[in-house]
Amino acid sequence: MSKVLTTCPYCGVGCGVAVTANGDAIQVEGDPNHPANYGRLCGKGMQLAQTLSPAGRLLQPHIDGKPESWSRATAHIASRFRQAIDRYGPDSVAFYLSGQLLTEDYYVANKLMKGFIGSANVDTNSRLCMSSAVAAHKRAFGSDTVPGCYQDFEQADLVVLVGSNLAWCQPVLFQRMMAAKAKRPQMKLVVIDPRRTATAAGADLHLPLQPGTDLALFHGLLRYLSRNAACTQQALAQLSLAQLNDYSIDKTAEITQLPLESLTTFFQWFKETDKTVTGFSMGINQSVNGVGQGNAIINCHLLTGRIGKPGMGPFSITGQPNAMGGREVGGLATSLAGHVDFADSDKRDAVAALWGSDNIATRAGLTAVPMFEAMAAGKIKVVWILGTNPMVSLPDTELVRRALQTCPTVVVSDCVIGTDTQRYADVLLPAKGWGEKQGTVTNSERRISRQRSFVAAQGRAQSDWWALCQVAKAMGFASGFDYRNEAEIFREHATLSAINGGPFDISALAQFSDHQYQQMGPLQWPQPAGKPLQLQPQRLFSSSGAGKIVIDHPQPRLGQGNFIVNSGRNRDQWHTMTRTGLATTLGRHRPYPQISIHPDDAAALGARSNDLLQLGSDILAPITISQSQRRGELFMPIHWSDNNSSAGSVNRLIDSQYDPISQQPGFKGARVEAKAQ
Ligand code: SF4
């Protein structure tokens, strides 16, 4: 009975997990040596063993509802791809991936589509999670790089959390920060969130701002800092103060609907505290102003030079286990593998040479929402969806339904059977799940960790990279897809990372043997070849003038209705509950979907606790009356769908407006019509 060290499959904290498997008896505990969690696990992580049930698993390939062999299924998919490409061109096919995939799966999918099919129509549900932070990083630093590490949350004297319910969504990082705060009570926590969340309840100052006004808040802070704080000359020289004329502290208080006194306190604390970290998450990214808001936060750190040093910096907190790893290998339609831009023809040629490809995509492909719009318009003839359930997770469910109904061939790879999306699938492929598959993931602090297998795959489930290689070979691309194992894929990815170099360079890991890959411990990038492996936390962009100040004007969020609706996670559930729903302990926290509403709004609607509230024409769920809500705003969790409740998915209410730069949908702050039933 030996311990297998692996990584939790849920949130972007990327906690290390030690698993002891003795036949069917599986014991899960935190890995005391993993730098993300040092032995801690949250409730979801602790119940991982309960989720390894064979119940509900997709066990073999299916074509048109009938069980099939892998060889027939992959030959069928290959012929559909080939026919569409020959007849309509490479942009008539698409992959839609997931932050749940391992980096090796992501790498092979991208290589096949961008390197060999010759289209960049590969996007991922990570588009819905952090693509606005990606674009903000690129505008500020010239690269998609989180400058800091988790230790900064412990070393800071002021932590500002914006649009992040860290206590529920990334609980172990929250625990680490609060443990540091307990030891140093002078450390302050400011939470900027319309709701009084569990995170806000632990804050020294909660700023319940009007949804969608974060840009104004940080422009106001930037203006205040430029007049009152010690600023770096390089950043100050970039600043056009005329752009901030509309953001005096009084005007900012008016726009954000925050008390002037609270706002002034926040601005003063920020001004006075060198060691300041600003963590931002979905409340910032999932907005039609997501990129501008990300830059507005980064601006304040650049102006004060608080970046890349212990306890200082802006920090994008990712939601999914491998949102960062997908970005490394080109999981977004907007870049090639190794963070190489399509426009950089020298580096693009270098990627093509490494892949042995003469058909590499030369321009960005369709991002998530435009991809489904193109499908609905009949322009995409084959789509392969891996590890995600867009019928629930994308906004504008009706668009997604039309898209999947219109697309002639829909292939879905998943661990479980019967998801909302699978209703529209022509081909189903069984994927290995957590504990069965092998590979790497990268967490929010750029740390690559191994996921390792410790149980046999259920049924005929296979790794996604293997399925992609089978299809690639059946399409005639044998030479680039003959991998023996995950280690070979990882070495190629690490070799390719040197093409862009800089912060993304992990080429030192390209030398790892299969055995070293198996033994590999958690490592933060960069890890360039020719240098000893760096095991201490690494910070980037500390030199003055390392970033660019970018100031945007807000985009209006259009829509009608008597309430603003926000959505998010519950403490003990993960996405559509296909895994966490198997753990009975986790179900006790919030057993059914509820809409949170302020008491005054409930009274105005004539509704009492547990009465049904109808949102739009589709959603009907009981209310919970809560002082944590602002008046005029509702909150509904994301976990339920047509498949697991009669309430329906909250994303049915969300239209497909998105940030014009990142094309990340604006899940937050949509207007809806609500009435009591
Ligand atoms: Fe897993 Fe996130 Fe909980 Fe860590 S904090 S155990 S990664 S869900």
Ligand 1 atom closest to residue 30's alpha carbon, by position in its atom list:
6
Ligand 1 atom closest to residue 13's alpha carbon, by position in its atom list:
7
pLDDT digits 0-9 by tens, 519-540: 999 999 999 999 999 999 999 9
Best residue among 42, 178, 444 to mutate for probing ligand 1, ranked by most atoms within 8 Å of CB:
42
Helix ranges (H only) for 190-259 are 198-201, 214-228, 233-238, 249-256
Ligand 1 atom closest to residue 45's alpha carbon, by position in its atom list:
6
What does CATH list as the number for 563-654? 2.40.40.20
**pLDDT at residue 543, as a whole number:** 77
The whole-number average pLDDT for the span 297-310 is 96
Q: What is the dihedral of CA 143, 148, 150, 152, to 10 degrees?
A: -160
The tally of CA atoms less than 13 A away on the side-chain side of residue 300 is 36
Ligand 1 centroid to Cα of residue 36, in Å, is: 10
The whole-number average pLDDT for the span 606-623 is 94
Which regions of the chain carry the CATH code 3.40.228.10?
A: 132-316
**Nearest CA among 366, 288, 340 for reference residue 123:** 366
Ligand 1 centroid to Cα of residue 573, in Å, is: 11
Residue nearest atom 4 in ligand 1 by C-alpha distance: 15
Secondary structure of residue 46 in the 3-state scheme: helix
Tokens of 369: 């929402």
- Residue 505 CA to residue 528 CA, distance in Å, equals 5
- Residue 252 CA to residue 250 CA, distance in Å, equals 5
Residue 82 vs residue 588, higher pLDDT: 82
CATH class of 132-316: alpha beta
The whole-number average pLDDT for the span 569-597 is 89
- Residue 367 CA to residue 373 CA, distance in Å, equals 10
Ligand 1 centroid to Cα of residue 325, in Å, is: 17
Ligand 1 atom closest to residue 46's alpha carbon, by position in its atom list:
6
pLDDT digits 0-9 by tens, 622-647: 999 999 999 999 999 999 888 778 78
Ligand 1 centroid to Cα of residue 41, in Å, is: 6
Residues flanking ligand 1, CB < 6 Å: 8, 10-11, 13-15, 37, 41-42, 44-45, 170-172
Does the structure show a pLDDT above 70 at 1?
no
**Nearest CA among 522, 535, 528 for reference residue 495:** 528
Best residue among 7, 40, 44, 166 to mutate for probing ligand 1, ranked by most atoms within 8 Å of CB:
44
- Residue 132 CA to residue 468 CA, distance in Å, equals 28
**pLDDT at residue 580, as a whole number:** 87
pLDDT digits 0-9 by tens, 204-246: 999 999 999 999 999 999 999 999 999 999 999 999 889 999 9
614: β partners = 620, 675
Residue 460 near residue 59, CB atoms below 8 Å: yes
Which regions of the chain carry the CATH code 3.40.50.740?
A: 62-126+336-496
Work out the number of other CB atoms within 10 angstroms of the CB of residue 529: 15
**pLDDT at residue 558, as a whole number:** 87
What does CATH list as the number for 62-126+336-496? 3.40.50.740
- Residue 295 CA to residue 307 CA, distance in Å, equals 14
Ligand 1 atom closest to residue 14's alpha carbon, by position in its atom list:
7
- Residue 641 CA to residue 629 CA, distance in Å, equals 23
Best residue among 5, 170, 447, 639 to mutate for probing ligand 1, ranked by most atoms within 8 Å of CB:
170
Ligand 1 centroid to Cα of residue 412, in Å, is: 27
The whole-number average pLDDT for the span 101-111 is 97
Token pair 């598959």 in the structure block, residue: 437
Helix ranges (H only) for 117-196 are 127-141, 151-155, 166-169, 171-183
Which regions of the chain carry the CATH code 2.40.40.20?
A: 563-654
Ligand 1 centroid to Cα of residue 286, in Å, is: 21
Ligand 1 centroid to Cα of residue 207, in Å, is: 26
Ligand 1 centroid to Cα of residue 197, in Å, is: 18
Least confident of 159-173, 386-400, 452-466, 545-559: 545-559
**pLDDT at residue 113, as a whole number:** 98
Beta-carbon contacts of 57 under 8 Å, excluding residues fewer than 6 positions away, are 415, 416, 417, 430, 433, 458, 459, 461
Mean per-residue pLDDT of the chain: 95
Does the structure show a pLDDT above 80 at 199?
yes
| Stated pTM of the model | 0.97
Best residue among 5, 6, 15, 40 to mutate for probing ligand 1, ranked by most atoms within 8 Å of CB:
15
Ligand 1 centroid to Cα of residue 468, in Å, is: 29
Q: What percent of the chain has pLDDT over 70?
A: 100
Residue 322 near residue 106, CB atoms below 8 Å: yes
Q: How far is CA 335 from CA 44, 171, 322, 326, 614, in A?
A: 33, 31, 17, 11, 41
pLDDT digits 0-9 by tens, 444-459: 999 999 999 999 999 9
Best residue among 17, 38, 41 to mutate for probing ligand 1, ranked by most atoms within 8 Å of CB:
41
**Nearest CA among 596, 675, 601 for reference residue 635:** 596
What does CATH list as the number for 3-51? 3.30.200.210
Ligand 1 centroid to Cα of residue 306, in Å, is: 28
Residue nearest atom 3 in ligand 1 by C-alpha distance: 42
Residue 339 near residue 137, CB atoms below 8 Å: no
Ligand 1 atom closest to residue 42's alpha carbon, by position in its atom list:
3
Task: Determine how β-strand 563-568 pairs with β-strand 670-672.
Answer: antiparallel
- Residue 98 CA to residue 105 CA, distance in Å, equals 10
Best residue among 6, 7, 10, 164 to mutate for probing ligand 1, ranked by most atoms within 8 Å of CB:
10
Residue 558 near residue 657, CB atoms below 8 Å: yes
Residue 58 vs residue 582, higher pLDDT: 58
Residue nearest atom 2 in ligand 1 by C-alpha distance: 11
User: How does DSSP assign 499-541, residue by residue?
Assistant: HH-GGG--GGGGG--HHHHHH---EESP--TTS----S-----
Beta-carbon contacts of 603 under 8 Å, excluding residues fewer than 6 positions away, are none
CA torsion sign for 68, 72, 74, 78 is: negative
416: β partners = 57
- Residue 119 CA to residue 103 CA, distance in Å, equals 20
pLDDT digits 0-9 by tens, 473-515: 999 998 899 999 999 999 999 999 999 998 999 999 999 999 9
